[in-house]
Amino acid sequence: MKDVERSSPENRGEAEADKLARYAPGAFALILFGPPGSGKGTQAKLLVSDLGFAHISTGDILREHIAAEDAIGRQVMAMMKNGQLVPDELVNQMVEERIGRDDCMNGFILDGFPRTLGQAENLGWLLAARGIGHLVVHLAVDYNKLVGRLTARRQCPQCGTLYNLLSRPPVIPGRCDIEGALLEVRTDDQEMVIRKRLEAYDAQTRPLIEYFRADGSLHEVEASDAPPEVIVRQVRQLIEEFRGQ
Residue ranges binding Zn ion (CB under 5 A): 156, 158-159, 161, 176, 178-179, 181
Distance CA 98, CA 61 (A): 8
Q: Specify the 3-state DSSP secondary structure of 30.
A: strand
Let me know if 153 is a catalytic residue: yes
**Of 45, 115, 206, 213, which is the active-site residue?**
115
* Shortest separation between residue 177's beta carbon and Zn ion, angstroms: 7
Q: Which is nearer to Zn ion, 80 or 178 (CB)?
A: 178
Q: Is 22 a residue of the active site?
A: no
Nearest distance, CB of residue 187 and Zn ion, angstroms: 18
∠18-136-66 over CA atoms, to 5°? Answer: 60
User: How many degrees, rounded to 5, is the angle at CA 209 between CA 216 and CA 232?
Assistant: 80
Respond yes or no: is residue 19 known to be catalytic.
no
Total residues found in the chain within this entry: 245
Q: Between residues 19 and 175, which has the closer beta carbon with respect to Zn ion?
A: 175
Q: Which CB sits closer to Zn ion, 89 or 184? A: 184
Minimum distance, C-beta of residue 163 to Zn ion, in the bound complex (Å): 9
Q: In the chain, which ranges are continuous DSSP H helix?
A: 14-20, 40-51, 58-68, 71-81, 88-98, 117-129, 143-151, 191-204, 208-214, 228-244
- Spot the catalytic one: 45, 175, 197, 213: 197
Q: How far apart are CB 206 and Zn ion at their closest, in Å?
A: 37
Q: Which residues pair with 220 in a beta bridge?
A: 138
Question: Which of 161/204 has CB closer to Zn ion?
Answer: 161
Catalytic residue numbers read 40, 115, 153, 186, 197
